[in-house]
Amino acid sequence: MANLHFHYGVMSSSKSAALIINAYNMRRNGNAVEVIKPAYDERFGKQKIVSRIGLECDANALPNLQSYHPAPNTKVILVDEVQFFGEADIDTLVHIADQQNKIVMCYGLMVDSNESIFPASRRLIEVGAKLHRMDSTCQITGCMKLATHHLRFDSNGKVIRYGDQFALGDSNYKSVCRSHYNELCHGIKQKTK
């Protein structure tokens, strides 16, 4: 089994739910598991991960991973919202996976709402993490295409095309297919049959 994994998908693709389920199952099978997340994510409290479907688990919130050292008996490290960590933090996870022979499973977004890869996500690709895409459908009513992009909206419902991409929450985001992203963000209409 590969030691370094990146489970990625758009918002609402059940990444946190999968992490919580994996933590539960691994612990039930007698494996020592550590769950970590960036301290930046305080949506549900500093030490919690909560999925949109109501599952939750405790987590260790860290500002970065530079001084993170898993316990010697830990077999698996699960990392939520990995895109909010830095590239050097990913290198720390690589060291843990390779030098300490721990399984590291990261969960997060690949791209931001400007179609740019988050630096930590890019670093996971560069270091050869095993990639697992978590699929979800477009959140535009009636569309059943694969959601691959995020649209961010202001309080008036207008698409925000630029700005800070380190924003928490999903109330002003929609996960959409490429066609709807291009239509709503760039004004490029979908080709119809």
Which residues are the active-site residues? 81
The residues pairing with 5 across neighbouring beta strands, listed in sequence order, are 105, 130
Enumerate the H helices of 1-85 as residue ranges.
15-28
d(CA 96, CA 187): 45
What residue has token string 């270091």?
Answer: 127
Query: With contact defined as beta carbons under 8 Å apart, do 122 and 4 qualify?
Result: no
The string of DSSP letters for 118-148 reads -HHHHHHHHTTPEEEE---B--STT--SBP-
Q: Which amino acid is at 150?
A: H
Q: Which amino acid is at 102?
A: K
What residue has token string 């997060």?
Answer: 108
d(CA 58, CA 48): 5
- How far is residue 70 from each of residues 49, 66, 106, measured CA to CA in Å? 19, 12, 15
d(CA 138, CA 131): 21
